[in-house]
Amino acid sequence: MVENGIGSHISTSHFGNPSTGTLEAWVNVSSATGQFTIFHAGGAVGVNVNRLFVGVHAPYNNLALGMDRGADMFSPDWVWVESNVNASRLVGSWHHVAATWGARGYELWLDGELCTSQGGFRRMPDPVDKLLIGCNPFNTCMHGTVDEVRISTIQRIFSPVALGVLPPPSANMPRFPSTPRAYGLGDSPFQLFFPFVSAAPSPTPRVPCGPLF
């Protein structure tokens, strides 16, 4: 899925407020001059409801995860988990970005390495309808390409070796939207997989996400 940075995005319905979950995607950012969104849970574009953010966040323009754990939509209590990965690190090559929440707290992963985490997890207070991929209600959108989005109701663990088995698609592959496929064991947990392009092996240099804090 190619994002033009000025409003293009994909929207899913009935995201809810899962007590445990993972959002992940391969991203190839074309340009990053300020903050931008990879995932946003809340309202549709133009509807000011905000519950979850994954992307590059101001003022430091670093990769971050934010979640509202307030009592209700009128009493916000945001927790921010910010990495030391600057937006410029994501430009020009494929990177695997993942955010998880659950019993281990809030976690942010880059290319299979845990960049930062924070305990004290509390779930989002209210179910939300929309999950936006590539943009948020304020049109703070990503400019680049998103592929292989996976939404899970489990708190996943990653490794560079495991991710290397399924490398990101070649930047030269033609891009075809396809039907989401659901995988899982019974009704729960489940994973929803959006393969936006056909996967093909393509060596991609990995950049470590830096020291852990």
What ranges do the domains of the chain cover? 2-194
Q: What is the number of H-type helices and E-type strands within the chain? A: 1, 14
| Confidence band, pLDDT 50/70/90 cuts, at residue 210 | very low
pLDDT, residue 25, reads 94
34 contacts 60 by C-beta, under 8 angstroms = no
Rounded distance between C-alpha atoms, residue 154 and residue 23, angstroms? 10
Overall average pLDDT of the 198-203 stretch: 39
pLDDT, residue 5, reads 52
pLDDT, residue 91, reads 93
pLDDT, residue 152, reads 92
pLDDT, residue 159, reads 87
92 contacts 76 by C-beta, under 8 angstroms = no
Q: What is the CATH number of domain 2-194?
A: 2.60.120.200
Residue pointed to by tokens 């948020």? 136
Overall average pLDDT of the 47-68 stretch: 86
195 contacts 178 by C-beta, under 8 angstroms = yes
Whether residue 155 has pLDDT greater than 60: yes
What percent of the chain is predicted at pLDDT more than 70?
67
pLDDT, residue 205, reads 46
Q: What is the DSSP letter of 213?
A: -
Quote the pTM value.
0.74
95-123: pLDDT as tens digits: 999 999 999 999 999 999 999 999 988 88
Rounded distance between C-alpha atoms, residue 184 and residue 192, angstroms? 9
- What are the Cα distances from residue 44, in Å, to 16, 127, 130, 144, 200? 14, 14, 6, 20, 33
For the chain, give the longest Cα–Cα distance: 47
- Higher-confidence residue of 180 and 112: namely 112
